[in-house]
């Protein structure tokens, strides 16, 4: 966050963008068809990178908080990149967003109100608005430019942004929850991963969950959050800590995972409530058929139940995890790294 951006103008009429962080160098020309060997490259770890062949750079911009790019990739279609980190890809974002939204709403007996922390691209709101019982979805994102960018360029979410049930708020989610008098049936954390120096890690802390978020849940309310990479080799970065932190605050907590191809990893979510969470395949399939407009592409009762069964390595880590997120003691995911080879 907050990298210096330098625009260098060339005689050919194109602008070359160059910016750096500790782990990132990016160079590109303005939106155009790119060379055949052009790639988007993300540094997953100091010795591991993940690359996609590009058709073109569709758009890019820089907000007060972060750098934004929309890429057209050969394998994953349109890809949203924020601060050099893949956020979602056109061909498989439904996996992430169905897993984020539907389990919590289906576990609730009659969800009417939803508060989404983050979610600026609009996909989480889109999925929540598919539930027939929903009367109001508040989507609170800190970055106006990201929201405007996504509303303009991510065509799959145009209808969601126009929905009268959606209340769009540009604010820090922590401040917004503190200021609001109302409570919600479901609160969703669709935030960026906790990155050192980023604005989001305080929204993963025990004090935030306990003192700000939980009091804004209605009786039998449910909280769900994305919880970062959850693979055999990556689950200790933040997933186990987020899970353990939430366990300190809520009585009933379940972790679940799914593979997201464009993330090159298994991803994790955590769902929590002080009311028992009924997770049963047949019951969930009945609710999907009765409550949701249209057909889900990824999630059904059996797949969700299966997603809560973690492999031995991950389950053992979650059982033995002792770290709790505080303002003074946070774990951070590995820094971002990206290059556009154009």
Give pLDDT tens digits along the chain (342 positions). 333 333 223 232 223 333 233 333 334 444 556 666 789 998 887 888 889 999 999 888 888 888 899 999 999 999 999 888 889 999 999 999 999 999 999 999 999 999 999 999 999 999 999 999 999 999 999 999 999 989 998 899 999 999 999 999 999 999 999 999 999 999 999 998 886 666 688 899 999 999 999 999 999 999 999 999 999 999 999 999 999 999 999 999 999 999 999 999 999 999 999 999 999 999 999 999 999 999 999 999 999 999 999 999 999 999 999 999 998 887 767 544 333 333
Phi, psi of 177 (to 5 degrees): -65, -40
Q: How many CB atoms lie within 10 A of CB 1?
A: 17
Q: Where in the chain is the domain with CATH 3.40.50.150?
A: 93-320
CA dist 189 and 185 (Å) reads 14
Rounded CA separation 271/304 (Å)? 12
What is 39-89's CATH number? Answer: 2.30.140.10
Query: What gap in Å lies between CA 291 and CA 189, rounded to an integer?
Result: 22
Q: Are 31 and 15 in contact (CB under 8 A)?
A: no
Q: What is the location of CATH 2.30.140.10 in the chain?
A: 39-89
Q: pTM for the whole thing?
A: 0.88
CATH T-level topology, domain 93-320 = Rossmann fold (3.40.50)
Classify residue 50 by its DSSP letter: E
* Cβ atoms 28, 70 nearer than 8 A: no
What are residue 118's DSSP bridge partners? 190
- Count other C-beta atoms under 10 Å from residue 253's C-beta: 19
Instruction: Please tell me the distance from the alpha carbon of residue 332 to that of residue 237, in angstroms, as a whole number.
Output: 7
Instruction: Give the residue numbers marked as catalytic.
Output: 190
């Amino acid at each position: 966050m907050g990298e210096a951006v330098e625009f260098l103008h060339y005689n050919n009429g194109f602008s070359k963008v160059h910016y750096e962080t500790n782990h990132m160098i990016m160079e590109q020309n303005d939106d155009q068809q790119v060379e055949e060997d052009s790639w988007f490259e993300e540094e997953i770890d100091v010795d591991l990178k993940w690359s996609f062949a590009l058709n073109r750079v569709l758009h890019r911009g820089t907000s007060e908080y972060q750098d934004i790019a929309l890429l057209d990739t050969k394998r994953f279609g349109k890809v949203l990149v924020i601060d050099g980190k893949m956020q979602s890809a056109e061909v498989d974002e439904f996996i992430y967003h169905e897993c984020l939204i539907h389990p919590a709403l289906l576990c609730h007996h009659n969800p009417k109100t939803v508060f989404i922390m983050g979610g600026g691209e609009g996909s989480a709101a889109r999925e929540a608005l598919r539930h027939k019982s929903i009367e109001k979805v508040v989507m609170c994102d800190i970055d106006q430019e990201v929201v405007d960018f996504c509303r303009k360029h991510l065509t799959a979410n145009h209808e969601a942004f126009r929905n009268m049930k959606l209340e769009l708020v540009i604010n820090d989610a922590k401040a917004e929850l503190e200021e609001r008098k109302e409570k919600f049936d479901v609160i969703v954390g669709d935030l960026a991963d906790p990155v050192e120096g980023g604005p989001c890690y305080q929204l993963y802390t025990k004090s935030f969950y306990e003192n700000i978020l939980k009091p804004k849940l209605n009786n039998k309310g449910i909280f769900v959050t994305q919880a970062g990479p959850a693979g055999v080799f990556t689950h200790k970065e933040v997933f186990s800590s987020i899970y353990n932190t939430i366990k300190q605050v809520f009585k009933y907590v379940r972790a679940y995972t799914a593979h997201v191809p464009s993330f090159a990893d298994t991803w994790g979510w955590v769902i929590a409530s002080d009311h028992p969470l009924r997770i049963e395949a047949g019951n969930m399939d009945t609710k999907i058929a009765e409550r949701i407009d249209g057909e889900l592409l990824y999630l059904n009762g059996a797949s969700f139940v299966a997603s809560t069964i973690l492999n031995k390595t991950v389950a053992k880590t979650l059982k033995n995890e002792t770290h709790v997120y505080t303002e003074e003691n946070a774990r951070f995911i590995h820094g971002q790294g990206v290059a556009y080879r154009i």
